[in-house]
Each structure stands twice: as C-alpha cells, then as structure tokens.
Copies of this chain bind each other. A is one copy, B any other.
Amino acid sequence: MYDLDTGARTPLYQQIVDQTQEALARGYLQEGDQLPSVREMARTLVVNESTVTRAYREMEGLGMIETVVGRGTFISLDRDKMEGAKERLLADLRDLLGQAIFLGIGLDEVIRTYRDLEEGKENEDGDTTSPGAD
C-alpha cells in the first residue's frame, strides 16, 4: 500500500502521512483499523523506526490516529481537530492562491493539480534531477 520515494523532496515521514490520508480518503483504511506496529512498518518500508514514529506522531497531532502504548496505533478521526485544521487550511489556501495569481499561475493549472492529486498521481514531474529548464 505504501510506496516511498527516498529521492523525493518530500520527507519520508510526510510521505507516510500523505499516503495514509490517501488510503483514508479512498476507503482503504477506516475508523478503528489498526495500523502496523512501528517496528513492522519500519521493516516493511525499509526505513528507520524513528521515521515511522515521527509519522505516527504527526498523524496523532492531526487527529487522524490514536495510540495506546502497549496495544498499538488505531485510526481514530478527531472531527474537532480536523475542522480547525480545515479552517486554517482555507486561510492558507487563500494566501497561496493570491500569490499564485500574481505569479501568473492560471486557474486551469490549479484545477489540473487538484485533479491529479485526486487521482493519486501525486507528483509525477521529476523530483531528483528535474529535466525541465529553470
């Protein structure tokens, strides 16, 4: 389910968060589901345990999961926290879109980006060497 890209600009722990959110949005994961243990996830993804731990901590802060020491980590959506996050994100989005307009980024490009993300294309333009001219 998870597919990490070591070379990407996005930190590994963030990729874990992102892909968990995606799994949640697509229904692959649901409230109450248990996530793999830190050690197992680390083994599976071939990353350090600390990296997984950080991803889990991050998700806990986002109100996505709940951790019970000694038992495991479970999907548990905190509507309150998420509502607050949504409002803050909308404010950030306004700021960013304002900048985007100034820099000549068209609505079409914004829409395309949104749709690509929705389909799980994520970030297909090269990340390491970036062939495009700058």
Contact = CB atoms under 8 A, between A and B. Distances in A.
A84 interface: yes
A90 B10 CA distance: 12
A91 B9 contact: yes
A30 interface: no
Nearest to A85: B103
A42 interface: no
A114 B107 contact: yes
Nearest to A115: B107
Nearest to A84: B84
Interface of A: 9-10, 14, 18, 21-22, 24-25, 32, 50, 61, 78-105, 107, 109-111, 113-115, 117-118, 122-123, 134
